Amino acid sequence: MNVIELVQQYAKMLKHVDRWLDKAVEHAKKKSFDVETLVHARLAPDMYSLDRQIQSACDTAKFSASYLSGKQPPVHPDTEKTFAELRARIQSCLAFLETIGAADVAGAEDRKVTPKWLQGKWVKGDQFLVQVSLPNFYFHVTTAYAILRHNGVDLGKNDFIGAIPQRD
């Protein structure tokens, strides 16, 4: 497992989310509605709305990078209620992820990860990434994508996957 590549993947996907918001703005203009109504859109009554899905994806990325690098993540009070505020949060998380280098995560696979929600218990870094962080991150990113698609935003698989590092 290459932890720095996983941090880079979080950044790649958060950049995709930001581009999806561009497409949502275009869609709202085309259909003549206020794009901010999408901030509160959700797939089911008991699921988080778009704003909380994006907040959660950002949190997973920044806290995972923090746990494995020892660097302090940016603080976000979860008060974003507009596309501009959500985009600012994404940019803040991206800026933090850019500070994480290979030396910062050297040996991260064996680090003890102790998120507050584990109430004093811990999990090894590699197990945390594979069994908690990655699934949680992709759950929230995928749900944000699905909320936008459900509301008519023109997104496809290539918008989700993005560029693939092809070789000859």
CATH class of 3-160: mainly alpha
Q: What percent of the chain is modeled with pLDDT above 90?
A: 89
Count of CB atoms situated within 10 Å of the CB of 162: 12
CA pair distance 92, 144, nearest whole angstrom: 18
How would DSSP label each residue in 85-98?
A: HHHHHHHHHHHHHH
Domain ranges of the chain: 3-160
Partnered with residue 19 across adjacent β-strands are: none
Distance of CA 61 to the CA centre of its chain: 6
Per-residue pLDDT of the chain (168 residues; tens, 9 = 90+): 588 999 999 999 999 999 999 999 999 999 999 999 999 999 999 999 999 999 999 999 999 999 999 999 999 999 999 999 999 999 999 999 999 999 999 999 999 998 888 899 999 999 999 999 999 999 999 999 999 999 999 999 999 999 888 888
CA pair distance 26, 164, nearest whole angstrom: 25
CA pair distance 94, 120, nearest whole angstrom: 29
The DSSP 8-state label assigned to residue 72 in this structure reads P
pLDDT digit string (tens) for 54-88?
999 999 999 999 999 999 999 999 999 999 999 99
